Structure 1
Amino acid sequence: MKKTLLIVLSMVFLLVLSACGEKASQQDKAAQQGAAGGEKTTGEAPRIASLSIHLTNNLLALGITPVGSVVGGDLKTFLPHVADRLTQTKQLGVATDPDMEALLALKPDVIYVDQQYGGKDIAKYGKIAKTVVFNLDEGTWRDHLREIGKLVNRGQQAEDFIKEYQAQTERVKTLIHNKIGDGTVMAVRVTAKELRVFSMRRPMGPILFEDLGLKPAKGVDQLSKDKAYELISQEVLPDYDADAIFVVVNRDDGAQKLYQQIQSSPIWQGLKAVKANHVYAIPDQPWLDYSALGSKMALDDAEKMFAK
């Protein structure tokens, strides 16, 4: 009897030790995940402070609202197409000069930084919270979204977002083709003092020429790949011989006035795209927001525009 009781007690003791060991292993694994990306072990999203408007909008695409975020440099506030989603988010100044006092007061779990603007200041951010640095010049917004998805344990949401985006691009491609066929395309921006033509790189190049598969007008693919745009004079617009032109006009009065002057010029009126009524005015935001959410909202805008 004593021998049997001893065997039973030994088995119970081993089971207890095994359960404790498994629990400890799970806790260690969760702690390691948290250390890697700032995840909370409760399953909730971490308190993230974003020092990039594009990283902020990638987070929003995954259903995560950062506790703090930098604002648009020219606007000095949140970008208009996402402002309604950031009503509970603390403004942290501009990416080139974040409000360190406000950042410190937030007590974030993790800080997301764009290497272009914060790469040299990682040490000071690291004193506040764990800091994750993203090189937004490498890869596409899809790569950045997937990276964030892994960090916050929302990898499947990232894949679902990308899949839905791809399906939408196919719809928009068809709509645009119905309007301009296989015609060539260029995108320009009018500011108060200058006229710019967008290159193949972000923010405009990828959505037009990669996602939507549009053909660049003459010379667009020869523009510097190190710059988002190049300055041009309206006299050279005919050289591009574009079948369609996307136009971004800055919101200020000076830009609006300059665009009116361009439109009234014989050069503009003689352009193939103008004669064919294939000039498409698009807002700066979301089109110039190279993020998952910005690109999705730009597609929404294009879908409405070309469905008319």
Structure 2
Amino acid sequence: MGNAVVPVNPQRVVVLTNESTDIVLALGITPIGAVRSWSGAPYYDYIADDMANVPIVGDEMQPNLERIAALKPDLIIGSQVRQEQIYSQLNAIAPTVFSETIGESWQENLRLYGKALNREVEAEKLLTDWDRRVANLQQQLANRNLQVSLVRFLPGAARVYLKDSFPGQILQEVGLQRPPLQSGDGFAQEVSFEQIPAMEADALFYFTYTGDGNNQDLTNVAEPWLNHPLWKQLSVVQLGNAHAVSDVVWTTAGGVQAANLLLDDLEKNLGL
């Protein structure tokens, strides 16, 4: 988006994506303002305590410029994929640094935010710790040749997640295989009930849409799928290897903390 001249050690940082909230906290900085979580709650549970007193400045798709300006930030962190249209307005308030996208690019974004915050050493330590953990998992999984399926349930729909998604990229990094329908490039693919057999794998992780704060009734979103005869016929289901996991951790949050929580789920459910 151009050049941003930032303070040497920014103290008043506003973050405009859930991913950057996760990452900035991991770098040891508490923002002075942040966008609301996608769930409608102020912040996701896993960072709620750290963000307890931080004011909301709108949501990712519609940050509130007046609230941001009132906080007098000395740095704003956002993403081109979310806020490109208002970059010039944000940059008029304070130096603004955007990632290009979010999700699968979280490691690149961690380095970018670390540079903007003058926390490059901390960012590299987080990435070194991540690489060490991934290498350990690769070693444990090397001889198991496991195929892992990723499924997300949404109102009236289901998706399988592909290699370029946040969880897909992590599975690839640790050396897990994917079913044929999920092994291609791309983010996700919507599937029908008839395609449930293509979800078959050695292990299946499913996560359910948690809402966007619009008071939708999401109580039974997954039920049509979990109760479908084809789902019940999957060997992975019958063997007890289909695992419900957090939608926040596996797809909506992003960031280094969420990535490590995802690895926790893999270790727990794959017996590592």
TM range (shorter): 0.7 to 0.9
Residue in 2 that maps onto 1:250: 209
Asked whether 1:48 is paired with 2:13, we answer yes
Query: Can you list the C-alpha shifts for 1:60-117, whole angstroms capped at 9, x where unaligned?
Result: 1111111111112342521222111112322111011111221111000011121012
Equivalent residues of 1:191, 1:254 under 8 A apart = no
Q: Aligned partners of 1:144, 1:105: CA distance in 2, in Å?
A: 27
C-alpha deviation, 1:254, in angstroms:
5.6
Partner AA of 1:66 in structure 2: P
Equivalent residues of 2:80, 2:100 under 8 A apart = yes
Residue in 1 that maps onto 2:190: 231
Residue in 2 that maps onto 1:294: 258
Query: What secondary structure does 2:220 align onto?
Result: helix
In the TM superposition, 1:1-308 aligns within 5 A as: 36-40=5-9, 45-136=10-101, 140-173=105-138, 181-209=144-172, 211-222=173-184, 225=186, 228-251=187-210, 255-288=218-251, 289-307=253-271
Equivalent residues of 2:31, 2:54 under 8 A apart = yes
Partner AA of 1:271 in structure 2: L
Query: Can you list the C-alpha shifts for 1:220-258, whole angstroms capped at 9, x where unaligned?
Result: 123x62xx3221112212134422211102347965534
Equivalent residues of 2:103, 2:254 under 8 A apart = no
Percent of pairs with identical residues:
26
C-alpha deviation, 1:159, in angstroms:
1.2
Query: Do the aligned partners of residues 303 and 185 (structure 1) sit closer, same or farther apart at CA in structure 2, a change above 3 Å counting?
Result: closer
Query: Do the aligned partners of residues 89 and 176 (structure 1) sit closer, same or farther apart at CA in structure 2, a change above 3 Å counting?
Result: farther
Equivalent residues of 1:244, 1:279 under 8 A apart = yes
Larger radius of gyration: 1
Query: Do the aligned partners of residues 138 and 184 (structure 1) sit closer, same or farther apart at CA in structure 2, a change above 3 Å counting?
Result: closer
In the superposition, the TM-score normalised over structure 2's length comes to 0.86
Partner AA of 1:141 in structure 2: W
Structure 1 stretch displaced more, 142-151 or 233-242: 233-242
Q: Aligned partners of 1:136, 1:247: CA distance in 2, in Å?
A: 24
Q: Aligned partners of 1:139, 1:307: CA distance in 2, in Å?
A: 25
Q: Aligned partners of 2:238, 2:96: CA distance in 1, in Å?
A: 53
Gapped regions of structure 1 (runs ≥ 5): 1-34
C-alpha deviation, 1:176, in angstroms:
6.0
Equivalent residues of 2:156, 2:221 under 8 A apart = yes
Number of residue-to-residue matches in the alignment: 264
RMSD: 2.5
Q: Aligned partners of 2:219, 2:92: CA distance in 1, in Å?
A: 45
Q: Aligned partners of 1:98, 1:276: CA distance in 2, in Å?
A: 46
Partner AA of 1:279 in structure 2: A
Partner AA of 1:235 in structure 2: E
Q: Aligned partners of 1:187, 1:96: CA distance in 2, in Å?
A: 26
Please state which structure has a larger fraction of its residues in helix.
1
Query: Do the aligned partners of residues 254 and 268 (structure 1) sit closer, same or farther apart at CA in structure 2, a change above 3 Å counting?
Result: farther
Query: What secondary structure does 2:44 align onto?
Result: coil
Q: Aligned partners of 1:51, 1:105: CA distance in 2, in Å?
A: 15
Equivalent residues of 2:163, 2:169 under 8 A apart = yes
Query: Do the aligned partners of residues 257 and 138 (structure 1) sit closer, same or farther apart at CA in structure 2, a change above 3 Å counting?
Result: closer
Query: What secondary structure does 1:195 align onto?
Result: strand
